[in-house]
A and B are shown apart, each in its own frame.
Chain A
Amino acid sequence: MSWLTTVDHKRIGLMYLWSVLTAFLLGGLFALALRLELLTPKEDFMTAETYNKVFTLHGAVMVFLFIIPAIPAALGNFVLPLMLGAKDVAFPRLNLASYYVYMTGAIMALTAILTGGIDTGWTFYTPYSTTTGGAVTLMTFSVFVLGFSSIFTGINFVATVHKLRAPGMGWFDLPLFVWGTYATAIIQVLATPVLAITLLLLAFERMFQIGIFDAKLGGDPVLFQHFFWFYSHPAVYIMILPGMAIISEIIPTFSKKHIFGYRAIAFSSVAIALISFIVWGHHMFTSGQSQLAAVIFSFLTFLVAIPSGIKVFNWVATMYRGSIALDTPMLYAISFLLLFTIGGLTGIFLGALSVDIHLHDTYFIVAHFHYVMMGGTVIAFLAGVHYWWPKMFGRMYNETWARIGCLLVFIGFNVTFLNQFAMGAKGMPRRYYSYLDQFQGNHIGSTVGSWILALGLFIAAGVLMASLRKKYDAPDNPWGSKTMEWETQSPPITHNFPNNPVMLHGPYDYNEPVVRREA
């Protein structure tokens, strides 16, 4: 019972962790069902309408219930105050409220799924979303509510980083995870309210025909797309920035080397946050915006590649001549490097105007954003879960099986989505439950890949769950890391540190010899 009223950031983080993992399981089962239906070109066990509902739910559950809260609200909540040497986040009660608001939104989403479903795609484009049946209005309100939980977390993190750093900890002594989640929190605070008003207008449109997005009444359906992407493009960076932030912790820890280009990585997080607000038009190259706007948005989109490239090169440079230990978190981090690079580079294809006309609404774009969202964010999330698991639960997991899980995830992921790049480039459109026979080879490959991926994820889950049956066996600092969360015991005591911590060395000072304690 004490968990339900706790204001301890660690417990709230863990409650978020179990909740987002449940959402991940749900969204994942939807994905497996979709892939199974696509095994053959004909209708197997889903009608076209069911298929539309299932892909909408896969997208909406994964985006709004899993990826957006996954790293900031679950791992960030647990780790961020510890990294700062703080006793809690700035507003502990607001933090708890954020969790309850999230749960309210999740229950509304589930109700919407069970009472009619949604077939609009997770983007709720008008005019289809204002005319189709089903539980679109309820789902809209659910996402509206979930947005508040995201805003609360964002406000909390910005205030915490500004005001609760340990004595002696300046801005450039912060671990890069903190920089990444700080940049994320800024986007959460500044972008989510625009989604809120957009969804409110959409709900009113459905309930009262206010006509703001309805061309018949003088409104403008493209305005909805502008509003939606003004939030949802920055939201993509709400998803990836904390992933990058985790990688920036794991790579120096397992290379036993000071991070290369600390300030460049820190500022590139902020740069990505800022640029994220001025690129939304690249989702609308075929929606009838002006040629000039399209050219400008295309150019601005290319700018994102610069800070992203800076990060990737700095991570690789950190590994160069490092003393690399291939523990599970590092294996996930290396997977991230490969997969995110593919996802990022294919993003440049899509940002180029003429190429995008060919690739728009094909499987190429599905593969691209899965390489960034799953190959990037989810892999980084898994890296973070494996990295901080000993700290969060005080137990070590079976390293061998965890590595096997990681390997299967990596192989399964590539088999699933490389096939989708191939068929997308050949013209297979997204969101179809049926297709021409010529695409079946790639579809079979993709479906088989999804099974390998699922097997890997279930092994990873099984390994982690199995560790919970043991007694506490994790040392304070199993990986020999230098950041502050490893200075307290595993799992940490209620108020985090026995004494008020003071910053004595930087988060990546691996120059002094480190003795690695084996579990």
Chain B
Amino acid sequence: MSSHTLPAPGDTHGHDDHGHHDPNLQHHFVEMAQQFDTAKLGMWLFLATEILMFGGLFVGFGLQQAKFPEAFKAAHHHLDRSMGALNTVVLLISSFTMVLAVWAAQTGKRKVLITNLALTLVCAGTFLVVKFFEYSHKIHEGLLPGKFFHYAHGQPNEYIFFSFYFMMTGLHGSHVILGMGAITWLLIRAIKGDFGPGYYTPVDLVGLFWHLVDLIWIYLFPLLYLIG
């Protein structure tokens, strides 16, 4: 052993991997705070990748809209603003209940945590039900792109608007479903009593993810439903 490595202060007998510390602490971290900060940093990096992924679609949409402003304006009249607005409200409420869930986990209020996670799930489900009705209406009108497209009226380039509409809301919808899976997992662990003031990292991270899903919709709604 060279002079390069010395035992760390307070660790003279080497690191004890199965010692008497928090069972949630992984072996390669020194303390819970370090583990929490690291996990949070990782989540933020993941959220950055999500923003860039949706960013590609936003840029593509912007370019095509600048190219065919009239067609995009005409096409967006097929969207139901009141349904879009309803979904916006539903997702905003779900973000609020998610914040309450994180707070409940931090303060160790298990029942409040379970209630709010369940409420968040209900809101997410409502969002998908509304979206389902919107989609089936569009498909019925023949606005689904590709070989399903048989809407003969309107401007020639409305087609591309619906390609973006279905890609963007579809990708967002799949994130809602992923989020519901994650929240269900939290709910099961919350019922088992896994979370408390000492350990609430998963609730916090899923909360961050859920807010991003909400935020993307906040941008999608005016972009797609409120043109002109």
Binding site for B on A (CB under 8 A): 85-92, 94, 151, 154-156, 158-159, 162-164, 167, 189-194, 196-198, 200-201, 204, 207-212, 217-220, 223, 227, 230, 477, 484, 487-488, 495, 497-502, 504-505
Decide: B27 and A90 in contact? CB cutoff 8 A: no
Q: B20 interface residue, CB < 8 Å from A?
A: no
- B28→A209 contact, CB < 8 A: no
Contact across chains for A504 and B6 when beta carbons are under 8 A apart: yes
Flag whether B159 is at the interface (Cβ < 8 A).
yes
Q: Which residues of A lie under 8 Å from residue B146 when comparing CB positions?
A: 207-210
The digit string for B139-152, where 1 denotes a CB below 8 A from any CB of A, is 00000011100000
Q: Which of A163, A220, A505 contacts B38 (CB 8 A)?
A: A163
Contacts of A505 in B (CB 8 A): 4
| A193, B55: Cα distance in complex, Å | 9
Do A193 and B53 touch across chains, with their CB atoms under 8 A apart? yes
* B49 within 8 A of partner (CB): yes
Q: A484-B4, A499-B11 are in contact. Are A155 and B159 (CB under 8 A)?
A: no
Contact of A211 among B1, B8, B52, B160 (CB under 8 A): B160
Residues in B lying within 8 Å of A, measured CB to CB: 1-8, 11, 14-15, 17, 26-29, 34, 37-39, 41-42, 45-46, 48-50, 52-57, 60, 63-64, 67-68, 71, 145-147, 156-157, 159-160, 163-164, 166-167, 171
Q: Are A210 and B46 in contact (CB under 8 A)?
A: no
Min CB distance A102 to B, Å, is 17
Cβ contact within 8 Å between A158 and B4: no
- Complex A-B, nearest 4 residue pairs according to Cβ-Cβ distance, in ascending order: A208-B146, A193-B53, A87-B28, A197-B56
Question: Nearest chain-A residue to B164 (Cβ)?
Answer: A212
Nearest CB in chain A to that of B50: its residue: A193
13 more contacts with CB within 8 A, not counting A92-B28, A201-B60, are A91-B42, A154-B45, A158-B41, A163-B37, A164-B38, A193-B50, A194-B52, A197-B53, A197-B54, A209-B147, A211-B160, A477-B2, A484-B5
Contact (Cβ within 8 A) A208 B5: no
Q: Cβ of B2 and Cβ of A163 under 8 Å apart? A: no
A502 touches B8 (CB 8 A): yes
Q: Which residues of A contact B14 (CB under 8 A)?
A: 498-500
A218: B residues at CB distance < 8 A:
64, 67-68, 71, 156-157, 159-160
Q: Do A159 and B45 touch across chains, with their CB atoms under 8 A apart?
A: yes
Query: How many angstroms between the C-alpha atoms of A400 and B55 in the bound complex?
Result: 53
Are B145 and A209 in contact (CB-based, < 8 A)? yes
Query: Are B147 and A87 touching (Cβ within 8 A)?
Result: no
Contact call A211/B159, Cβ cutoff below 8 A: yes
Decide if A190 touches B5 in the complex (CB within 8 Å).
Answer: no
User: Are B28 and A487 in contact, with the CB atoms below 8 A?
Assistant: no
Cβ distance A477 to chain B, nearest Cβ, rounded Å: 8
- A72 CB to nearest chain B CB (Å): 15
